[in-house]
Chain A
Amino acid sequence: MDKLREEKLFKSLMLASLAIVVGSLFLVIAVVVWNGAPSLSLSMITQTPKGGYYLGKEGGILNAIVGSLYLAFGSMLLAIMISLPVALSLQKDYIGKTKAAYYIRLSLDVLWGTPSIVYGAFGFIVMLYLGMRASLLGGIIVLTLLQLPIMIRAMEEVVKLVPEELKEASYTLGATKLETTLGVVVKQALPGIVTAALLAFGRGIGDAASILFTAGYTDSLPRSLFDPVASLPLAVFFQLGTPFPEVQQRAYASALILLIIVLALSITSRYLSKRFMKNIIR
């Protein structure tokens, strides 16, 4: 009887833990929606800050929304261009089974764990060294570095899932490794590659610590790669840091906008990968 009671106790503890974990997700969403929704307005997403915006006057955070999209898109594209070849080279057709690949994976794992503030500091050192100032380009580069380990890992996982028989069929027909990789592997793994890219996009649009010193902040829309650029996470952070309740309200609304974008992204990518999966040969 005792051992059954113990099992019951632990089972309810586990259920309670799971409820707390899942509950905390809904709590975070609920708190941000509850506080952010009232000050969310059309002008907030269609206007840039007017004079005295940070004192509670007119305007919106269009600069930050557009800036964040630029940063996240730019860095995602760059990251794809680097990650895809790396992930493909980690197939066993290339160097996947070698000792080198083992160390490459290990160092990518370490990069994965490196905090974004460290990327930010590193980015700033490099920019100082090159004589660059905080700019859209600086932000894009740092975010690219931040996304690399996430993207490569995720892409490698899906590339690994491509059936060997398919590749062999392609080799038998006389295709080279490159032709097989592009024509069979990339095509087969495309849904996963898209998901990996969206995952990294989400990380890029939400990160603040890495672009704090590298992207800068400005009230105007981004005009060139070499100008400072505003971003949503920093808009949240700076507005929250003002002593004015009206502006803090807007910080909550900005956080809500960011949350909506990120949640929409992750739901879309889940949906897309499910849709695409149907067209894949297993």
Chain B
Amino acid sequence: MRVRQLKDLLAGRLMIAFAIFSSLLVFLIAIALYWRSKPILEAKSLSDLLLGSTWLPFQGEFGFYPFILGTLYVTILAMIFAVPLSILSAIYLAEYAHENLREKVLPLIDLLAGIPPVVYGVFGVLAIVPLVEYIAPVIGKLGIPFLRAESYSTGFSLLAGGIVLAIMVFPIIISISHEVFRAVPSEIRDASLSLGATKWQTIKHAVIRTALPGIAAAIILGFSRAFGETMAVLMVVGNVPSVPKSVFDPAYPMPALIANNYGEMMSIPLYDSALLLAALILMLVILLFTLAARLVLIRIERSMAHG
């Protein structure tokens, strides 16, 4: 009898210890990255690092500006493609689609989520890069801001990165916002419909309005995923460390910077510290975004449970 109780107690304690350990991992990662990026933070001012645009590690120049902008641009571009397509798809799946269709499409979207980044990279190199190379001179002539092609585009560009990333974040935005739409209480729909509103008016004025915070959370989570994605982007974005002026220009996002250079040339002073600072910045930005999005989603979940 005593043995059983003792076992029970010990196992319970052990399980909880595991849980606490795994939740401390976030802090462990942040502390380790901070510890290793401290040398460069002490040697240079933060504003020089973030706003400087010269990247010459051999001469001790570490300006992250082009990389930060590269990351932001490629992510924003991806979101421009992904957000409308994903939200519209999610609305259709949640509100219009027949049970049959939904059960066939959702697994496909899960498949999309399971495809490895390098496979997306290969797809990008084979299909998207040539496409961009082909359309760049045509669209570039029109003289639209951000869509000019000043010089010849090889196709390895912001636009290629944006398109590939967009496909990669479809599943995240769709599956989360689909859940959010499904969580909207049916009373809200019924009330609107009984007042004589059409289905679309109901969705537009009642469902979307109720689901708005959740949609925002889904978008933020998609944004974070795109922001930190490394391999697929690295393979199609060109990796030229200058601020891109057009979507047909190459860019050099921060994850690609880390992947391409970390582990090599560690003998250059401060170089690895600078790269780990890049990792720390990535992590902190994503941490803030994820926290914000999750807090919203937890709220929704709770109101569902109570209401």
Name A residues whose Cβ lies closer than 8 Å to a Cβ of B. Answer: 3-4, 6-7, 10-11, 13-15, 17-18, 20-22, 24-25, 27-28, 31-32, 35, 82-83, 85-86, 88-90, 94-95, 100-101, 103-104, 106-122, 124-126, 145, 148, 152, 176-179, 199, 202-203, 205-209, 212-213, 233, 236-237, 240, 251-252, 255, 258-259, 262-263, 265-266, 270
Known A-B contacts A3-B198, A111-B25, A179-B8; the reply to A88 vs B118 at CB < 8 A is: no
Q: Does B279 sit at the interface, judged by CB under 8 A?
A: yes
Name B residues whose Cβ lies closer than 8 Å to a Cβ of A. Answer: 4-5, 7-8, 11-12, 14-16, 18-20, 22-29, 32-33, 35-36, 84-86, 88-89, 91-93, 96, 105, 107-112, 114-123, 125-127, 167, 170, 174, 198-201, 221, 224-225, 227-231, 235, 255, 258-259, 262-263, 275-276, 279, 282-283, 286-287, 289-291, 294-295, 298
Contact status B262-A121, CB under 8 Å: yes
Q: How far is the CB of B227 from chain A (nearest CB, A)?
A: 8
CA distance A3 to B198 in the complex (A): 8
CA distance A13 to B116 in the complex (A): 29
Known A-B contacts A7-B199, A115-B255; the reply to A202 vs B114 at CB < 8 A is: yes
**Which residue of chain A has its CB nearest to the CB of B85?**
A17
Q: Which one, A10, A110, A115, A176, contacts B4 given CB within 8 A?
A: A176
Instruction: Enumerate chain A residues within 8 angstroms of B116, measured Cβ to Cβ.
Output: 205-208, 233, 258-259, 262
Instruction: Enumerate chain A residues within 8 angstroms of B127, measured Cβ to Cβ.
Output: 27, 31
Instruction: Enumerate chain B residues within 8 angstroms of A207, measured Cβ to Cβ.
Output: 116-117
CA distance A85 to B86 in the complex (A): 35
CA distance A27 to B108 in the complex (A): 13
Q: How far is the CB of A111 from chain B (nearest CB, A)?
A: 6
Instruction: Enumerate chain B residues within 8 angstroms of A120, measured Cβ to Cβ.
Output: 259, 262
Contact status A125-B108, CB under 8 Å: no
Instruction: Enumerate chain B residues within 8 angstroms of A116, measured Cβ to Cβ.
Output: 228, 230
Contact status B231-A208, CB under 8 Å: yes
Q: Which one, B18, B86, B225, B294, contacts A89 given CB within 8 A?
A: B18
* 29 sample A-B contacts, Cβ–Cβ < 8 Å, listed by A number: A6-B200, A20-B85, A21-B109, A24-B112, A24-B167, A86-B18, A107-B25, A113-B221, A113-B228, A113-B289, A114-B286, A115-B230, A115-B286, A117-B258, A120-B259, A121-B33, A152-B22, A176-B7, A177-B8, A206-B119, A207-B116, A208-B118, A209-B230, A212-B262, A236-B118, A236-B122, A237-B231, A263-B111, A266-B111
Q: How far is the CB of A5 from chain B (nearest CB, A)?
A: 10
CA distance A253 to B32 in the complex (A): 38
Contact status A117-B107, CB under 8 Å: no
Say whether chain B's binding surface is mostly helix, strand, loop, or mixed. helix
Instruction: Enumerate chain B residues within 8 angstroms of A15, measured Cβ to Cβ.
Output: 92
Q: Which one, B5, B8, B15, B255, contacts A85 given CB within 8 A?
A: B15
Q: Which one, A109, A148, A199, contacts B25 given CB within 8 A?
A: A148
Contact status A107-B26, CB under 8 Å: yes
Known A-B contacts A86-B15, A121-B258; the reply to A115 vs B115 at CB < 8 A is: no
Q: How far is the CB of A252 from chain B (nearest CB, A)?
A: 6
Contact status B18-A82, CB under 8 Å: yes
Instruction: Enumerate chain A residues within 8 angstroms of B114, measured Cβ to Cβ.
Output: 199, 202-203, 206, 262-263, 265-266
Q: How far is the CB of A242 from chain B (nearest CB, A)?
A: 13
Contact status B224-A113, CB under 8 Å: yes
CA distance A117 to B262 in the complex (A): 10
CA distance A111 to B127 in the complex (A): 32
Instruction: Enumerate chain A residues within 8 angstroms of B275, measured Cβ to Cβ.
Output: 121
Q: Which one, A31, A111, A126, A255, contacts B118 given CB within 8 A?
A: A255
Contact status B200-A109, CB under 8 Å: no
Q: Which one, A106, A115, A213, contacts B263 given CB within 8 A?
A: A213
Instruction: Enumerate chain A residues within 8 angstroms of B29, measured Cβ to Cβ.
Output: 114, 118-119, 122
Q: Which one, A32, A179, A208, A266, contacts B117 given CB within 8 A?
A: A208
Contact status A32-B118, CB under 8 Å: no
Instruction: Enumerate chain A residues within 8 angstroms of B118, measured Cβ to Cβ.
Output: 206, 208, 233, 236-237, 255, 258
Q: Which A-B residue pairs are the 9 nearest by beta carbons?
A: A115-B228, A206-B116, A7-B200, A89-B15, A14-B92, A113-B290, A176-B8, A17-B88, A209-B230
Instruction: Enumerate chain B residues within 8 angstroms of A152, measured Cβ to Cβ.
Output: 22
Contact status B88-A13, CB under 8 Å: yes
Q: Which one, A203, A258, A270, contacts B107 given CB within 8 A?
A: A270
CA distance A31 to B24 in the complex (A): 42
Q: Which one, B93, B96, B119, contacts A255 given CB within 8 A?
A: B119
